[in-house]
Amino acid sequence: MMLRIPSLLTPDEVRDCRQALEQATWQDGRTTAGSLAVKVKSNLQLPIDSPIAAQLGHLILDRLGRNPLFLSAALPLRVLPPRFNRYEGGGTYGNHIDNALFVIPGTAIKVRTDVSTTVFFSDPEEYEGGELIVEDTYGHQSVKLAAGDAIVYPGTSLHRVNPVTRGTRYASFFWTQSLVKSDEQRRLLFDLDQSIQQLTVDHPDHAKLSALSGTYHNLLRMWSEA
């Protein structure tokens, strides 16, 4: 399932993040690439131990924890601390599938990459190219969102970032281990949850609300790995 989360960050938060990112010290993104990815990766990243990355990552995780759309779609168990990248001057990242597991820095805790998330810090008119291309069963999905928006998609997806030929594309990227491993099951739960929420607004006294809510939680109990 691919889902846009609009306005995860406010315009003021985006402005403050951009100022921090523009003043940060960046390193070659290939330092975190595997043996295959290093051949197709050409970008800049903040070091994993960067204080700026930690500060901005905390902000993103705080906003995600309050965002009902993300919580409903991802059903997060663990979230890897957000990382940050920068594309310019033809920078690109060719087709790849992310590692299945990452270790949370400074710990022995592994995060399975069920759900990928990208948060945009540059508006589309600020740069040319730089589309996130995700291949799924419906074909190629091209994503280029407003600053402050986020896109959520399955970590199993083949994806790439097209070359940035003008301007600079700033973004954050990270992965979530979901309570529910299967993307298909997460999609069913998301659709059911959204229907229940809409029914609650439209018909708050509907006799079937309790039954539908019970079905949702019984499915989550059945499929959850927690």
Ligand-binding annotation for 96, yes or no, is yes
Ligand-binding annotation for 159, yes or no, is yes
Q: Shortest CA distance to 18 belongs to which of 70, 59, 48?
A: 59
Ligand-binding annotation for 169, yes or no, is yes
Tell me how far apart the alpha carbons of residues 6 and 149 are, in angstroms, rounded to a whole number: 5
Tell me how far apart the alpha carbons of residues 119 and 176 are, in angstroms, rounded to a whole number: 14
Ligand-binding annotation for 78, yes or no, is no
Question: Which stretches of the chain are assigned E, i.e. beta strand?
Answer: 3-5, 27-28, 41-42, 44-45, 76-79, 83-88, 92-96, 101-103, 110-112, 115-120, 128-129, 132-136, 139-143, 150-154, 158-161, 164-166, 168-178
- Binding-site members for Fe cation are 96, 98, 159
- Binding-site members for 2-oxoglutarate are 169
- Binding-site members are 96, 98, 159, 169
